[in-house]
Amino acid sequence: MKRTIAIALLLVLIIGILGGCAAKSEAKSDGPIKIGVLAPITGANAEHGKSYQVATNMAVREINAAGGINGRELELIFKDSESDQQTTADMASSLAEDDSILAILGEFSSGCSMAAAPIADEAKITLLSPTASAADFAPMSEYAFSIAGRQDSEAPCMAKTGVKEYFGASSVGILYLNNDFGVNSLKYFEDTASQIGLTITAKEGYAEGESDFSAIISKVRSSDPECLVIIDQLPTKVLNQLAQTDWDVKVACAGCSTSQQIIELCGEAAEGIIVTSSVFYSDEEPATKEFADKFEAEAGFSPTAMAAYEYDAVYVLSEALKACGSDLTRQNIRDNLAKVSGTYLSGPIKFEAQGDIYRSFMICQVENGAFVVKVGF
C-alpha cells in the first residue's frame, strides 16, 4: 500500500514538473524575443550611447508595429558597458548566461566589442556590433559580426582621396584619439600615406576625456604640414581649440562622419573641414530625411552615420530572426545572420566570410554651416 502511494506521488510530481516545463516552453515561444544590448550609457562614450539607445529603439518600435518577428514582439535588454572593456565583458557574460537572450547587439567601440567577443564565442551567441570597425574584431569569432565598415577602408580613403587628391596636400600633421579606434586608424592612414608619397610631419595622441590640446596643436604646427588630420569620432573640442589659434591650415577629420553635432557645437570652427562618410543625410532622399527628422525629434540632436548603423543593425538581425521561423536557436540565428544581404538605410550590407562588411566612403566638406558631398562613391 505504502509503495503504491509512493509511486502515485512520484507520478504526480513528474507530471507537475513536465507540465511546468511545457508551460515554461510555451511561454518562451509565445513571449517577446529578447535581444541583449551592450551600450555605453555612461562613461567616455555616453554621448554615443544616447544615439545607440534612440536608434535601436526606433527600429524595434517600427518592427513591432509591423507585426514583429513572425508574430512575436522584439524586446531589447540594455546593459550599460560604462564605455569600459572589463565592464563590457562582465555584462556580456551576464547576457550570455541568460538562456532567454538569443543574441547580443554591441558594443559601440571596437575595444569593448573585442572584449565581449571571447564570451560570445564560448557561449555560441551572436554578437553583432553596429559600429565596431577594427579589422581584427569579426575574425575573433564566428559569432562576431559588424556592419560599420572597416578602419582599413576609411582611413586610407581619407589619406588618398581626401588629403592627397581633394586637398592636394603633400604633407600632413596628425592628432589622434589614443584609443583602439584612433591607434588602428592611424596605422592604416600611415600605411596608405607611405604608399602614395604623403609625408607625415608629426603625430600626437591624446587621451579620452582630454580637454587641453594647446600643447599638441603647437607641436604639430611647428612641423609645418600643409594639412592637419584629426582622427576622432567626435573631435569638437579639438576643433574649437584649433579655432582659437591663428593657424590657417586645411583640416581633415577621420572617424566622425557627417555629424551635425560638429556643426552645432563648433559653428565657424567647423567651416571648411572635410570628413569621410558612408552615409549622407539629404533632404532630397526621403528615407534618410524621415529617419533624421524622427531621430532628432526624439534625441534632441541630429544623427551621425553611427545612428544609421545602429538602426540598421536591428533590422539586419530581425531578418536573421525571421529566417529561423519557429526554430529560433542561438546557432540558427548566427547561421542565418551570415546569409543576410540587402540594402538598408546606411547602404548595401552583405557579410564577408569573416563576419564584417566593406563600405565605400565619400568625402564631404562643411560649407556655409552644412555638409556638402565633394567626392561621391
Higher-pLDDT residue of 119 and 181 is 119
Q: What average pLDDT is seen over the chain? A: 91
* Confidence tier at 36 by pLDDT (50, 70, 90): very high
Hunting for cell 549622407 — which residue is that?
A: 280
pLDDT of residue 314: 98
Whether the pLDDT of residue 30 is over 60: the answer is yes
> Is 145 within 8 Å of 337 (Cβ atoms)?
yes
Q: Classify domain 33-149+284-345 at the CATH topology level.
A: Rossmann fold (3.40.50)
Three-state helix/strand/coil letters over the chain: CHHHHHHHHHHHHHHHHHHHHHHHHHHHHHCCEEEEEEECCCCCCHHHHHHHHHHHHHHHHHHHHCCCECCECEEEEEEECCCCHHHHHHHHHHHHCCCCEEEEEECCCHHHHHHHHHHHHHHCCCEEECCCCCCCCHHHCCCEEECCCCHHHHHHHHHHHHHHHHCCCCEEEEEEECCHHHHHHHHHHHHHHHHHCCEEEEEEEECCCCCCCHHHHHHHHHCCCCEEEEECCCCHHHHHHHHCCCCCCEEEEECCCCCHHHHHHHHHHHCCCEEEECCCCCCCCHHHHHHHHHHHHHHCCCCCHHHHHHHHHHHHHHHHHHHCCCCCCHHHHHHHHCCCEEEECCEEEECCCCCCCCCCCEEEEEECCEEEEEECC
* pLDDT 10s digits, 238-275: 999 999 999 999 999 998 888 888 998 999 999 999 99
* Bridge partner list, 348: 343
Tell me what percent of the residues of the chain surpass a pLDDT of 90. Answer: 84
At 166-212, the pLDDT tens digits run: 999 999 999 999 998 999 999 999 999 999 999 999 999 999 889 99
Q: For residue 320, which of 329, 333, 330 has the smallest C-alpha distance?
A: 333
In the chain, domain spans: 33-149+284-345, 152-277+362-375
How do residues 78-101 score in pLDDT, each as one tens digit? 999 999 999 999 999 999 999 999
**pLDDT reading at 300 higher than 70:** yes
- Taking alpha carbons only, the member of 73, 63, 56, 61 closest to residue 107 is 56
Q: Does 152-277+362-375 match 33-149+284-345 at the fold level?
A: yes
* pLDDT over 70, % of the chain: 92
CATH architecture of 152-277+362-375: 3-Layer(aba) Sandwich (3.40)
**pLDDT tier at 29, thresholds 50, 70, 90:** low
At 52, list the grid cell: 545607440
pLDDT digits (tens, 9 = 90+) for 203-223: 999 998 899 999 999 999 999
Q: The pTM is what? A: 0.85
Predicted local distance difference test score (pLDDT) of residue 7: 41
Q: How many CB atoms lie within 10 A of CB 98?
A: 13
pLDDT at 80: 98
